[in-house]
Amino acid sequence: MNPLFVNLEPDVVDWARAQFALTAIYHWLFVPLTLGLALIMGIMETLYYRTRKVFWKDTAVFWQRLFGINFAMGVATGIVLEFEFGTNWSNYSWFVGDIFGAPLAIEGIVAFFMESTFVAVMFFGWKKVSAGFHLASTWLTGIGATMSAWWILVANAWMQHPVGCIFNPDSMRNEMDSFLEVALSPLAVNKFIHTVTSSWIIGALFTVAVGCYYLYCKREQRLALASIKIGGIVGLVACLLALHSGDNSAYRVAQVQPMKLAAMEALYQGGHDQALTAVAWVNPFEQPDYANTQEPPLRVALPYALSFLATRDIHGFVPGVNDLLKGGYPRPDGTIEPSVEEKIQRGRQAIGDLKLYREMRASLKGAASDAAMAAELGALTQSLQANMPYFGYGYVKDPAQLVPYIPVCFYAFRAMVGLGTLFILFFAVVLLVAYRSDLTRYRWLLVSAIIMLPLGYIASESGWLVAEFGRQPWAIQDMLPTWVGVSDVKTGSVMLTFFLFLLLFSTLLVVEVSILWRAIRRGPTYEEEA
* Structural domain contains residue 267: no
Identify any residues that bridge with 300 across adjacent strands, giving them in sequence order. Answer: 279
* Structural domain contains residue 285: no
Co-location of 499 and 382 in the same domain: no
* Structural domain contains residue 473: yes
Alpha-carbon Rg of the chain, whole angstroms? 26
Q: How far apart are CA 163 and CA 481, in angstroms?
A: 17
Angle, helices 258-265 vs 443-469, to 10°: value is 140
Q: How far apart are CA 227 and CA 37, in angstroms?
A: 11
Co-location of 452 and 351 in the same domain: no
* Sign, CA torsion 455/461/467/472: negative
Q: Say whether the peptide bond before residue 473 is cis (omega within 30 degrees of 0).
A: yes
Tell me which of 350, 367, 395 is where a domain ends.
395
* Structural domain contains residue 248: yes
Contact, 384 vs 350, CB < 8 A? Answer: yes
Half-sphere exposure of 411 (CA within 13 A, CB side): 11
Q: For the whole prediction, is pTM greater than 0.75?
A: yes
Co-location of 377 and 486 in the same domain: no
Co-location of 360 and 419 in the same domain: no
Backbone φ and ψ for 168, nearest 5 degrees, come out as -100, 110
Q: Tell me whether residue 23 is exposed, middle or buried, using C-beta atoms within 10 angstroms of its C-beta: 0 to 12, 13 to 18, 19 or more.
A: buried
Tell me which of 395, 412, 438 is where a domain ends.
395
Residue-level pLDDT, tens digit, the chain, 530 residues: 454 545 555 688 889 999 999 998 888 888 999 999 999 999 999 999 999 899 999 999 999 999 988 887 777 777 788 788 888 888 888 888 889 888 888 887 877 778 778 888 888 888 889 989 999 999 999 998 899 889 999 999 999 999 999 888 888 888 898 999 999 999 999 999 999 999 999 999 999 999 999 999 998 999 999 999 999 999 999 999 999 999 999 999 999 999 999 999 999 999 999 999 999 999 999 999 998 888 888 899 999 999 999 999 999 999 999 999 998 888 877 788 899 999 999 999 999 888 888 887 777 665 555 666 677 777 888 888 888 889 999 999 999 999 999 999 999 999 999 999 999 999 999 999 999 988 888 999 999 999 999 999 999 999 999 999 999 899 999 999 999 888 888 888 899 999 999 999 899 899 989 999 999 999 888 775 44
Residues 6+ apart with CB under 8 A from 20: 81, 84, 88, 89
Q: What is the pLDDT of residue 503?
A: 93
Co-location of 182 and 202 in the same domain: yes
Co-location of 242 and 390 in the same domain: no
Residues 6+ apart with CB under 8 A from 134: 45, 121, 122, 125, 126
Residues 6+ apart with CB under 8 A from 156: 191, 467
Q: How far apart are CA 42 and CA 82, in angstroms?
A: 29
Residues 6+ apart with CB under 8 A from 480: 3, 92, 95, 96, 391, 392, 474
Co-location of 24 and 163 in the same domain: yes
Contact, 261 vs 267, CB < 8 A? Answer: yes
Give first-to-last CA distance, the chain, whole Å.
68
Co-location of 510 and 365 in the same domain: no
Co-location of 462 and 349 in the same domain: no
Domain assignment of residue 389, given as a range: 340-395
Distances (CA, A) of 411 to 261, 300, 334: 13, 14, 33
Co-location of 155 and 22 in the same domain: yes
* Structural domain contains residue 462: yes
Distance, CA of 230 to chain centre: 27
Co-location of 413 and 387 in the same domain: no
Q: Is 476 helix (H, G, I), strand (E, B) or coil?
A: strand
In total, how many domains does the chain have? Answer: 2
DSSP-derived secondary structure letter, 394? G
* Structural domain contains residue 414: yes
* Structural domain contains residue 249: yes
Tell me which of 376, 395, 414 is where a domain ends.
395
Q: How far apart are CA 467 and CA 408, in angstroms?
A: 11
* Structural domain contains residue 302: no
Q: How far apart are CA 69 and CA 376, in angstroms?
A: 63
Co-location of 355 and 422 in the same domain: no
Q: How far apart are CA 314 and CA 275, in angstroms?
A: 9
